[in-house]
Amino acid sequence: MRTFDEISAARRVLDLPVTATMREIKSQYRRLLAKWHPDRCSGADQQECAARTREIIAAYKVISRYCSEYEYSFAEDVAQRHLTPEEWWLRRFGNAPMWRDDNGTEE
């Protein structure tokens, strides 16, 4: 398992926010590779671009490994922390009569 410092440094290299989806991580990785790829650089910048590309690839590997080794919890108490407002309301109040209109249908 990587340390927090390694993961945090990799996040900064990829210029990611504190929270990101895998789709956002991959998109940012591809964007940075397109920007820094040595084939897109000219002359003296090519060495810097090659170094930056290696750094981006290494950072992506750290983040990818962290994400693939992350243990997801399917416990009910953990899942309930991520309910949508509608799911929370339904679990809390259900189909209580006070939430129905005069015809017996939900408002």
Alpha-carbon distance of 64 to 41, in angstroms, equals 27
What is the per-residue pLDDT across 56-96, written as a single tens digit (0 to 9) for each?
999 999 999 999 998 888 898 888 888 888 888 888 887 77
Q: Would you say residue 85 lies in a domain?
A: no
Task: Judge whether 32 lies within some domain.
Answer: yes
User: Is residue 104 situated within a structural domain?
Assistant: no
Residue 47 within any structural domain of the chain = yes
* Residue 24, token pair as written in the block: 């956002």
Please calculate the CA angle 33-2-75 and round it to the nearest 5 degrees: 105
Q: How many domains does the chain have?
A: 1
Q: Kindly state whether residue 62 falls inside one of the protein's structural domains.
A: yes
Quote the domain boundaries for residue 65: 4-72
Question: Percentage of the chain surpassing pLDDT 70?
Answer: 89
Instruction: Assess if residue 98 is contained within a domain.
Output: no
pTM: 0.71
Q: Does residue 93 fall inside a structural domain?
A: no
CATH code where residue 68 lies:
1.10.287.110
pLDDT digits (tens, 9 = 90+) for 31-61: 999 999 988 888 778 889 999 999 999 999 9
